[in-house]
């Protein structure tokens, strides 16, 4: 589906939904962008599910994706330059990696260490924006930082609860990998290696102040 068609479809859906919400201006544009992002991601998620199911690792793929999606929802971070690259990276992260991790176990102690490091990273660097999606507003960034750290703790609790509840320590490695993915996406080193700019909000806010 071409980008222009996705945008048009997002606008059409927004018009229908907005009959109840009556949003305007920036809020309306945010709704359009949210629906557009959803439409872009649906094909990739369908492909992920199909490939993971074919390989017999659908639960593992979804478990790895869970902490990544929850933490990244607040921490934000890097995005691929195009849909093809994003699809390939998604399959490597959530299909190839869980497939390779079958039979790999880590202890609860190591899980705690990994999540502690992720939490520290979230406190230091979240939320991380992109040039296309700057995160404007100091209060908003502070709120997202707190939620990114909190969501890291929630995912740690979920990993421990599921691992103990189902007597399956293999879940620890999957949760840990998903959380580490979210951290990698916001690290300054990752931005530097990929030639991306950080703190893109600064230029916008300075312009508004001036």
**What's the pLDDT tens digit per position in 44-55?**
889 999 999 999
Q: Does the pLDDT of residue 202 top 80, yes or no?
A: no
Q: Is 127 left (phi over 0), alpha (psi -120 to 50) or beta?
A: beta
Domain definitions of the chain by residue range:
1-55, 56-209
Residues 6+ apart with CB under 8 A from 48: 61, 65, 90, 91, 94, 95
Which pTM does this prediction carry? Answer: 0.84
**What's the pLDDT tens digit per position in 159-193?**
999 998 888 888 999 999 999 999 999 999 999 99
Whether the link from the prior residue into 38 is cis, omega within 30° of 0, is no
Q: How confident is the model at residue 10 (pLDDT cuts 50, 70, 90)?
A: low
**What's the pLDDT tens digit per position in 129-160?**
888 788 888 899 999 999 999 999 999 999 99
């Amino acid at each position: 589906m071409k980008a222009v068609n996705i945008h048009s479809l997002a606008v059409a859906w927004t018009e229908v939904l907005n009959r109840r919400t009556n949003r305007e201006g920036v809020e309306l544009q945010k709704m359009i962008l949210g629906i557009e992002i959803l439409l872009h991601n649906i094909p990739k998620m369908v492909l992920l599910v199909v490939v993971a199911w074919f390989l017999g690792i659908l639960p593992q793929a979804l478990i790895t994706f869970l902490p990544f999606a929850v933490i990244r929802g607040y921490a934000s971070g890097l995005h691929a330059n195009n849909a093809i690259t994003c699809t390939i990276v998604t399959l490597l992260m959530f299909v190839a990696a869980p497939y390779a991790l079958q039979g790999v176990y880590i202890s609860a102690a190591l899980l705690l260490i990994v999540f502690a490091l992720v939490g520290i990273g979230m406190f230091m660097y979240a939320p991380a924006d992109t040039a296309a999606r700057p995160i404007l507003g100091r209060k908003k960034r502070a709120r997202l930082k707190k939620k990114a750290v909190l969501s890291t703790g929630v995912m740690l609790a979920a990993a421990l609860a599921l691992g103990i509840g189902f007597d399956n320590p293999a879940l620890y490695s999957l949760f840990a990998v998903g959380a580490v993915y979210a951290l990698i996406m916001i690290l300054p080193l990752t931005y530097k290696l990929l030639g991306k700019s950080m703190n893109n909000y600064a230029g916008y806010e300075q312009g508004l102040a001036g």
